[in-house]
Amino acid sequence: MPSLVFLPGAGGRGAFWAPVAERLADLGPSLRLDYPGFGGCPPDPAIRSTGDLFAWVVARLPPGRSHVVAQSMGGALAVRLALEHPERVERLVLVATSGGVDLRGTGAADWRPEYLASLPGVPRWFVDDRSDHTARLSDLAAPTLLLWSDADPVSPLAVGRLLEARIPGARLRVFPGGTHAFAQEMPDEVAAEIRAHLAGAAAPSRP
């Protein structure tokens, strides 16, 4: 049985996923990672770039294949994981993320000034990172579920539609009126969508 791996956004705390993970606990073992240097976690001097953080995440994955559920910044790491280590990813869930693509032209708000003001100790390499996996998305083989809000200025619905068009077989589900943190605010609905995806089924349409 594949493990469930939950990757948070730039808040850096795996606790973001606790409400959803608790509702999926019957599906098997799960891992919620905290990123060094984010969300009050002590920094790791060996992590000086997105590539270093990616290697740190890979080193902490459970053995074998995992279902990977990722929000915002974590989604860019998850896409890279599915591209570079497809043997480690059974199914993929991307939530309100850039997915590591260029957001110019999607209407996405520039989150960086407010983010730096609220978290002045955040690693600067993360803010400056411009990783772009757009050209490789067609190689992504893991069955992928995209969960998006239609009212998120940080990762607007246009980003979800871009990923849906680029990732083979990807399925997009939209949560009306949700914020960037809708996965934490609507755990019942989000967990239901993820459960259906991990079972290889489509969840019933919401009104």
pLDDT digits (tens, 9 = 90+) for 18-28: 999 999 999 99
State yes or no: pLDDT of 40 exceeds 60: yes
Name the residue range of residue 22's domain: 3-198
Considering the chain, what percentage of its residues have pLDDT values greater than 70? 87
Does residue 205 lie in a domain region?
no
**What pLDDT, on a 0 to 100 scale, did the predictor assign at position 38?**
85
Average pLDDT over residues 55-71: 97
**What pLDDT, on a 0 to 100 scale, did the predictor assign at position 37?**
86
Among 164, 207, 199, smallest CA distance to 4 is for 199
The angle subtended at Cα 130 by Cα 124 and Cα 133, nearest 5°, is 140
pTM score, whole prediction? 0.90
Low-confidence winner among 100-114, 115-129, 133-147 (lowest mean pLDDT): 100-114
Does residue 118 lie in a domain region?
yes
* 181-193 per-position pLDDT tens digit: 999 999 999 999 9
Does residue 207 lie in a domain region?
no
- Pick the more confident residue, 98 or 146: 146
What is residue 38's three-state secondary structure? coil
Pairing of strands 30-32, 171-175: unpaired
**What pLDDT, on a 0 to 100 scale, did the predictor assign at position 51?**
92
Does residue 203 lie in a domain region?
no
Whichever domain contains 180, its CATH number is 3.40.50.1820
Does residue 206 lie in a domain region?
no
What is residue 86's three-state secondary structure? helix
- Pick the more confident residue, 156 or 24: 24
- What is the tally of structural domains in the chain? 1
Does residue 66 lie in a domain region?
yes
What is residue 93's three-state secondary structure? strand
Does residue 50 lie in a domain region?
yes
Mean pLDDT, all residues of the chain: 88
Does residue 158 lie in a domain region?
yes
* 72-106 per-position pLDDT tens digit: 989 999 999 999 999 999 999 999 987 777 666 66
